[in-house]
Structure 1
Amino acid sequence: MRTDVHTLRLGGPASTPLPSVGCGLWLDRINGLGRLARQLDAVMPRHLDALLDLRSSRALENLPGLMDSAAERDIPVWLYVICDDHDPTGSLSMLARRLEGLPGTPAGMLVTPAAYLKSYQPDGVWPSGTSPGQARMAARVLWPELALGGGVPTYFTELNRCRPDPSSIDFITHAVSPIVHAADDRSVMETLQSVPDIVASCRALAPTTPYRITTTAIGAWTNPYGECLTPNDGSQRVTLSDDDPRQRGLFAAAWGVGFMARVAYAGVDAATLSSLGPPFDIGAESLHPVGHAIAGLCRAAGQPLRQLKLDGAELAALAWQTELPAVIEVWIANLSADAVPLYIEGVDLLELSRLAAVGDGFQPAPSVEARLRAGETDRLKGFEILRLRVQNPGSGPDC
Structure 2
Amino acid sequence: MSTSSDSFRIYGTHALEQKPIRLTAGRLTADLSDGNLRTIAYDGVEVLRAVSYLVRDRDWGTYAPDIADLIIEQQGEGFSVRYTAVCKGPDATELAIGVRISAEAGAPLIFEADALSGTGFETNRCGFCILHPIVGVAGAPVAVEHADGKRVETRFPDLIEPWQPFMNMSAITHTVMTNVTARCGMEGDVFEMEDQRNWSDASYKTYVRPLALPWPYQIPAGETVKQRIVLDIADKRPNTSATTTNGHSSPTTLTLGERRGRMPAIGVIVTPEEADAVVRASAVLDEIRPQELLFHFDPAAEHGAAAFERFAEVAKHHSGTSTLEIALTCKQPLLDETNLIATQMRDAGFKPDAIIISPSVDRQSTPPGSKWPECPPLEEVYAAAHAAFRDVRVGGGMLSYFTELNRKRVPSAPLSFISHCTNPIVHAADDLSVMQTLEALPFITRSVRAIYGDKPYRIGPSTIPMRQNPYGSRTMDNPKGARIPMANTDPRHNGLFAEAFAMAYVAKVLDAELECLTLSALTGSFGLLPGKDEPFAADGRRPLFNAVKTLAGLAGAEWRECISSNPSHVLAFATKTAAGATLWIINITGNDQEVDLGSLRLSDALMGGVLTLSPYQATSVALSE
TM bucket by the smaller chain? 0.7 to 0.9
1:65 matched to 2:313? The reply is no
CA distance in 2, matches of 1:298, 1:310: 24
Equivalent in the alignment of 2:573 = 318
Aligned residues: percent identity? 26
The match for 1:78 among 299, 312, 323 is 323
Equivalent in the alignment of 1:339 = 592
Give the Å deviation of 1:21: 1.4
- The farther-off stretch of 113-122 and 328-337 is 113-122
1:390 matched to 2:595? The reply is no
- The farther-off stretch of 135-144 and 220-229 is 135-144
The match for 2:613 among 375, 380, 386 is 380
Please list, as runs of the form range in 1=range in 2, the aligned pairs for 1:175-186 lying within 5 A after superposition: 175-186=421-432
- 8 Å contact kept, 2:276–2:310: no
- Offset from partner CA, 1:252-308 (integer Å, 9 cap, x none): 111111110111133222211111223411115722111111100100100011231
Q: If the length of structure 2 is used for normalisation, what is the TM-score?
A: 0.56
Unaligned runs of 5+ in 2: 1-247, 531-538
Letter in 2 for 1:172: I
- 8 Å contact kept, 1:348–1:373: no
Letter in 2 for 1:99: M
- 8 Å contact kept, 2:297–2:303: no
| Bigger CA radius of gyration | 2
Give the Å deviation of 1:60: 4.0
- Offset from partner CA, 1:363-383 (integer Å, 9 cap, x none): xxxxxxxxx613342321110
Give the Å deviation of 1:78: 1.1
Equivalent in the alignment of 2:435 = 189
Please list, as runs of the form range in 1=range in 2, the aligned pairs for 1:253-332 lying within 5 A after superposition: 253-284=499-530, 286-313=540-567, 314-324=569-579, 327-332=580-585
Secondary structure, counterpart of 1:201 in structure 2: helix
CA distance in 2, matches of 1:3, 1:128: 55
CA distance in 2, matches of 1:76, 1:38: 17
CA distance 1:43–1:281, change in 2 (3 Å): same
- Offset from partner CA, 1:84-129 (integer Å, 9 cap, x none): 2322433322221122255562121111222111001354211224
Secondary structure, counterpart of 1:375 in structure 2: helix
Q: Which has the higher contact order (CA 8 A, sep 6+)?
A: 1
Secondary structure, counterpart of 1:166 in structure 2: coil
Letter in 2 for 1:292: N
Equivalent in the alignment of 1:200 = 446
Give the Å deviation of 1:188: 0.4
The match for 2:273 among 10, 21, 28 is 28
- 8 Å contact kept, 1:303–1:320: yes
Secondary structure, counterpart of 2:300 in structure 1: coil
Equivalent in the alignment of 2:365 = 119
RMSD over aligned Cα atoms: 2.2
Secondary structure, counterpart of 1:350 in structure 2: coil
- 8 Å contact kept, 2:364–2:471: yes
CA distance in 1, matches of 2:460, 2:375: 25
1:350 matched to 2:603? The reply is yes
CA distance in 2, matches of 1:332, 1:60: 45
Aligned residue pairs total: 368
Secondary structure, counterpart of 1:51 in structure 2: strand
Secondary structure, counterpart of 2:341 in structure 1: helix
Equivalent in the alignment of 1:397 = none
- 8 Å contact kept, 1:71–1:104: no
Equivalent in the alignment of 1:160 = 406
Secondary structure, counterpart of 1:316 in structure 2: strand
Higher strand share: 2
CA distance in 2, matches of 1:38, 1:55: 32
1:106 matched to 2:361? The reply is no
Letter in 2 for 1:231: D
- Offset from partner CA, 1:328-365 (integer Å, 9 cap, x none): 122111100011111112334336xxxxxxxxxxxxxx
- Offset from partner CA, 1:158-198 (integer Å, 9 cap, x none): 01111111212111010010001100000000000000000
- 8 Å contact kept, 2:272–2:310: no
Q: If the length of structure 1 is used for normalisation, what is the TM-score?
A: 0.86
- The farther-off stretch of 61-70 and 264-273 is 61-70
- 8 Å contact kept, 2:507–2:573: yes
- 8 Å contact kept, 1:86–1:130: no
